[in-house]
Chains A and B, each alone.
Chain A
Amino acid sequence: MSETKDKAKIKEAVKRRKRETYTPVVPDLQLGFVHHNVDCIGCRACEIACKDKNGLAAGPRFRRVQYIEGGTYPEVFAYKVNMSCNHCETPACLPTCPTGALFKRKQDGIVDIDSTLCIGCRRCEAACPFGAPQFDPSDNLVKKCNMCVDEIEAGRKPYCVMACMMRVLDIGPVEQIWNGELQSVAIGPNDEVSRQVQNMADVELTKPSIGFIAHSKGKVK
């Protein structure tokens, strides 16, 4: 695929990428996800909705519901941590892209990949601490969640959010998610939102735009 890439476009994109690596894009509004780790039943309807929406074959998974369990019989616990791309404030993926295919949108902070520029080198895949970029061998491209920009632009919400059977996954301005102002059934009456949960990469690495209602065993500190 790479031989058909537009060289001039790449050149320009690389310039933009260099600039944005040193002075990251500060979005007008940063959208982010919120997920309730306890009330999520782990059904993965969100995952499948995403696969269908994006026409993916088995293999690449933009959204991944992780199952966490622990304890010793019969004192056990279990919860879920659901992540796709976190559309980070300082994306680790973006600076690694040799063609500048990765970009962060000014209007909503969504991190997207311009697939006409992607050469499938998989550097971003290695750089992301959350495993978000997914290599698709069927067309030798790296793809990832783009927060369903088309749906957002149409005034709706992403497929995964609208698929959630428990209504525990949502999007919103991430500041509101973190400070508890977001009106969303994903967040219950007495729930507190945390930015970091157990076994998740340090949020200081990229400042991911996501909040969780953590399980008591998944709380950090």
Chain B
Amino acid sequence: MSTKQNEQDILQRLNLSRRSFLKSSAAGGAAIATGGLVELQTAKEARAFAYEPYPRDDQLETVVTSCAHNCGSRHMLVAHKWKDVIVRLSTDDGRYQRNGYFGKDSNEEPQLRACLRGRSYRQRLYSAERLLYPMMRVGERGEGKFKRVSWDEALDQIARKMIHLKDTYGRTALLDQSYAGASYGVLHKSDQIEGLLGRFLGMFGSRTSSWSVPSYQGTTFSSRMTFGTIEDGNEDDAFAHSKLMIMWGWNPAYTFHGGNTFMYMRMAKQRGCKFVLVDPQYTDSAAAYDAWWIPIKPNTDAAMLAGMAHYIFTNELQDQAFIDRFCQGMDAGTMPEWAQGKENFKDYILGTYDGEPKTPEWAAKICGVPAKDIKKLADMYAKTKPAALKASWAPGRNAYGEQYNRMAAALQAMTGNIGNLGGSAEGVGKAWHAEAVAYPYDQYANIWFQAIKSDRWAHCVLNYPNVKREEIGLWQREDETDGQIPNIKGIFWQGSDWFNQLTNINKEIEAINKLELVVCMDSTITPSGLYADFLLPIATHFERHDVALPWYKGHYYIHRPKVIEPMGESKTDFQVFTELAYRIGGDVFGKAYNPKANRDYFHVNDNVDEAYLREWWDTKVIPHQHVNMSWDEFKQRGVYKFNLAQPHVAFRDQIENGTRFQTPSGKIEILATSLAQITDWKKTMYGYEIPYIPKWIEPWESLNSPKTSKFPFHLISPHPRWRTHSIFNNCSWLRETYEQEVTMNAADARKLDIKTGDTVEVWNDRGKCVVPVYVTERCMPGVAVLHEGAWIDLDENGVDRAGNPDMLTLDEPSPAGAFAYNTVLCNIRKTDLEHRPGWDKLATSRAHVFRRDL
């Protein structure tokens, strides 16, 4: 099926001789037999009954494994199975590690206890929404009408279409929208930048990459600029040592960020640590840690931080010795030679150049926090040591969100709370460094032909070719294609429900109809999947062999064996890409893509996966990390926990031993060298100017803008507790513990005659959704909270009845790439429209549609 042009292209890319290609290409087109449906052992057969007789754990087979999605943690799951059915799941109880025993739960090697989502995994695994065989769209995009096809037919058509799109529209035709949704392991990896899909499309020779990360791009930018790395985090046990902890927009009780962080924070509390929460909501974290709650208007955080900096400077409470030694651009004394005479951070705070001192009173007008509270907090932070200002991601998901994160980093530095036990430089918060890669990783890992800001794809598709590079945040290229606007004609989703999760869904709906190929690879049907041309059933992490990594905190590996056989005709992502590679480019592409595999990998993958993993353990983990456990012992135990000599604290080495920071100057860059040297912003991926020192910049909409006359509420959409983004939305256990609802302040609700349980419309110029209300005193007046990730369920007027806030968000990223998820004004009113909490009712029937053989 490959065209001449395509063959040549792949040959060239993979730098392989024509001869070897010709010799082997004959095998490339071999058709594969369509496998029949694997007969399922239904969960029902083995269902645990509440009372005797039911299978007790000890009568079942025990298999250690873990969760696998992008929640912010990575906890152990222990499957108790009967034949090929997982009867129930438990979690780490201390037994499985080396020298373990039931109940072992030490500070050094804490148990890795799963959260409610992990514990409900059986519902996802055995859900009615599970995709069991490849499907092809027969109705309109979004209509949800598919017919079952064989793998052979699906892959054949996809391969043909890919080649056609590349030949016709070129190297930017296919948009990579892979994400860390369900495949975060060392081998089977879905990832925005360097996952299995990126490598596949890059080798194929047509890939537009999406570079900004939805959850924390503002934060990533800040950490890179300030510290030169995103590994600015402490391990979670370090949190037990703080004397003051400021949770800035951070709600670990909801997000379970970092394995056991919340548990160590309890330890800190027991040792007398004081907690503060700066957040529009009085969260469960505030309650559990008995925090001083400072309600703040959304998207004004940088102003409040600037007010605190002013108080600290004017009262000379800063740690000047620390500043002099480690910082660049904090004040006149720390300005580099080349920047003499330019504005430094202290100049900005004192208003030396702009005539506007950023006093607590100035800040109070913007952020709604009384000046006396700003001063009090600044005083506490400057005078308590060690103190952790945990600047979380959410306030960074805003217009100019990067300024908030940069400002917070400046405060962490000026109080000298970096690199010390009990302090915090987080930020991104990534701590311990794992050996993360067992999949083939080489020069093809991240080939891209254009890269855009992830939330600008619809804009790019709808306006092509009349798009300016700065509008889509085009990454610079070193060749003649620099600045070329990508001509996107197809999308691949792998471990990604981005259609449901990116901003301004109505605009996405418009754009998707312009595409010629949409492929969705997932283990369940998703709202994105409804818009796909092909649905490919992907094995869950229970159905393939891998090793789990801690997500961003924690120091351990968890073995993830194939616990059960893949359900239906599911295949792993790696199998699908390998097979596609063979079909498109014969043995050359196939072998290059998956060097350890043979042509039959689509049908037999166990040995190959084992070989990759064993090699990773033997050549990376054992030698690089001084692990004295064999791969076989690791497999038998299921977990390896590292025992660190002291709690891992980011930048300890820099502060204690004077090692350079990874920034251009080797210092903590309050003045970012690289930003200060940019002259033509349009040619950068940012597109628009970003100040080289942190500054407060007015967002395009907030409670302070005139638009509030029409849209008086500021809508924020934090991560929910009962889903990981959109994953698990279909689990009834979770659905009965929490519901999708909009939270609003009691006084606001009274004015609108709204009570808890009423159904309301939440809307603005971009879209509308329908949800029930939770009225509470725990929310700041003027603020509405609606958790992201509900599965869109549109009515005939395009109103989302499920309550997805991204019907209202704006697809306008911040210059540094931060998604402006939390920069949204809206209005709210009671409605007669019906809220549809899930796909259950309607949706069970929808699930039937998915399975119907047309």
- Quick check: is A40 within 8 A (CB to CB) of the other chain? yes
Residue from B51, B56, B118, B270 whose CB has the most chain A CB atoms within 10 Å? B51
B735 to A, closest residue via Cβ: A58
Taking CB atoms, residues of chain B closer than 8 Å to A49 are 90-91, 119
- Asked whether A163 lies within 8 Å of B287 as measured between CB atoms, the reply is no
A148→B776 CA distance, assembly (Å): 36
- Asked whether B733 lies within 8 Å of A48 as measured between CB atoms, the reply is yes
A185 to B, closest residue via Cβ: B105
A31→B120 CA distance, assembly (Å): 28
- Asked whether B115 lies within 8 Å of A45 as measured between CB atoms, the reply is yes
Residue from B50, B733, B735 whose CB has the most chain A CB atoms within 10 Å? B50
Q: Among B197-205, B288-296, B802-810, which stretch is in contact with chain A?
A: B288-296
> Chain A nearest CB: distance from B751 CB in Å?
14
With A74-B293, A163-B113, A163-B114: A42-B733 Cβ-Cβ less than 8 Å: no
A151→B270 CA distance, assembly (Å): 31
- Asked whether B90 lies within 8 Å of A143 as measured between CB atoms, the reply is no
- Quick check: is B338 within 8 A (CB to CB) of the other chain? no
- Quick check: is B594 within 8 A (CB to CB) of the other chain? no
With A78-B284, A154-B57: A71-B777 Cβ-Cβ less than 8 Å: yes
- Asked whether B263 lies within 8 Å of A188 as measured between CB atoms, the reply is no
- Asked whether A38 lies within 8 Å of B747 as measured between CB atoms, the reply is no
Of residues 82 through 126 on chain B, the ones whose CB sits less than 8 Å from some CB of chain A are 88-91, 93, 102-103, 105, 113-116, 118-120, 122
- Quick check: is A1 within 8 A (CB to CB) of the other chain? no
B43 to A, closest residue via Cβ: A55
- Asked whether A43 lies within 8 Å of B736 as measured between CB atoms, the reply is no
- Asked whether B102 lies within 8 Å of A188 as measured between CB atoms, the reply is no
> Chain B nearest CB: distance from A20 CB in Å?
19
- Asked whether A164 lies within 8 Å of B253 as measured between CB atoms, the reply is no
With A76-B282, A115-B50, A166-B266: A45-B114 Cβ-Cβ less than 8 Å: yes
Contact with B along A98-133 (1 / 0, CB 8 A): 000000000000001111000000000000000000
- Quick check: is A199 within 8 A (CB to CB) of the other chain? no
- Asked whether A146 lies within 8 Å of B51 as measured between CB atoms, the reply is yes
> Chain A nearest CB: distance from B273 CB in Å?
13
Query: Binding site of B, secondary structure by majority: helix, strand, loop or mixed?
Result: mixed
Query: Binding site of A, secondary structure by majority: helix, strand, loop or mixed?
Result: loop
Taking CB atoms, residues of chain B closer than 8 Å to A61 are 736
- Asked whether B746 lies within 8 Å of A163 as measured between CB atoms, the reply is no
- Asked whether A167 lies within 8 Å of B263 as measured between CB atoms, the reply is yes
- Quick check: is A203 within 8 A (CB to CB) of the other chain? no
With A38-B288, A58-B732: A165-B256 Cβ-Cβ less than 8 Å: yes
- Asked whether B116 lies within 8 Å of A43 as measured between CB atoms, the reply is yes
**Which single member of A42, A53, A79, A165 contacts B263 (CB below 8 Å)?**
A165
Taking CB atoms, residues of chain B closer than 8 Å to A51 are 120, 733
**Which single member of B54, B90, B102 contacts A159 (CB below 8 Å)?**
B90
- Quick check: is A54 within 8 A (CB to CB) of the other chain? yes
> Chain A nearest CB: distance from B780 CB in Å?
7
- Quick check: is B721 within 8 A (CB to CB) of the other chain? yes
Contact with A along B725-749 (1 / 0, CB 8 A): 0000000111111000000011100
- Asked whether B270 lies within 8 Å of A164 as measured between CB atoms, the reply is no
B737 to A, closest residue via Cβ: A44
- Asked whether A38 lies within 8 Å of B287 as measured between CB atoms, the reply is yes
A150→B116 CA distance, assembly (Å): 22
Taking CB atoms, residues of chain B closer than 8 Å to A156 are 93, 102
- Quick check: is B285 within 8 A (CB to CB) of the other chain? yes
- Asked whether B721 lies within 8 Å of A154 as measured between CB atoms, the reply is no
- Quick check: is A12 within 8 A (CB to CB) of the other chain? no
- Asked whether A72 lies within 8 Å of B51 as measured between CB atoms, the reply is no
- Asked whether A57 lies within 8 Å of B287 as measured between CB atoms, the reply is no
Taking CB atoms, residues of chain A closer than 8 Å to B52 are 115
> Chain B nearest CB: distance from A40 CB in Å?
7
Of residues 741 through 771 on chain B, the ones whose CB sits less than 8 Å from some CB of chain A are 745-747
- Quick check: is A14 within 8 A (CB to CB) of the other chain? no
Contact with A along B252-286 (1 / 0, CB 8 A): 11001000001100100110000000000010111
> Chain A nearest CB: distance from B478 CB in Å?
48
A53→B270 CA distance, assembly (Å): 32
A197→B673 CA distance, assembly (Å): 58
- Quick check: is B38 within 8 A (CB to CB) of the other chain? no
A188→B286 CA distance, assembly (Å): 18
- Quick check: is B58 within 8 A (CB to CB) of the other chain? yes
Taking CB atoms, residues of chain A closer than 8 Å to B735 are 58
- Asked whether A150 lies within 8 Å of B56 as measured between CB atoms, the reply is yes
Q: Which residues of B come within 8 Å of A, CB atoms?
A: 47-52, 54, 56-58, 88-91, 93, 102-103, 105, 113-116, 118-120, 122, 252-253, 256, 262-263, 266, 269-270, 282, 284-288, 290, 293, 295, 721, 732-737, 745-747, 776-781
Beyond A72-B746, A136-B50, 5 extra complex contacts between A and B, CB < 8 Å: A48-B737, A61-B736, A151-B57, A165-B256, A189-B270
Top 8 closest pairs, chain A to chain B, by CB: A55-B48, A41-B253, A58-B732, A78-B287, A115-B51, A48-B119, A48-B116, A54-B50
- Can you list 5 A-B pairs with a CB-CB distance of less than 8 A? A38-B290, A41-B253, A48-B734, A78-B778, A166-B266
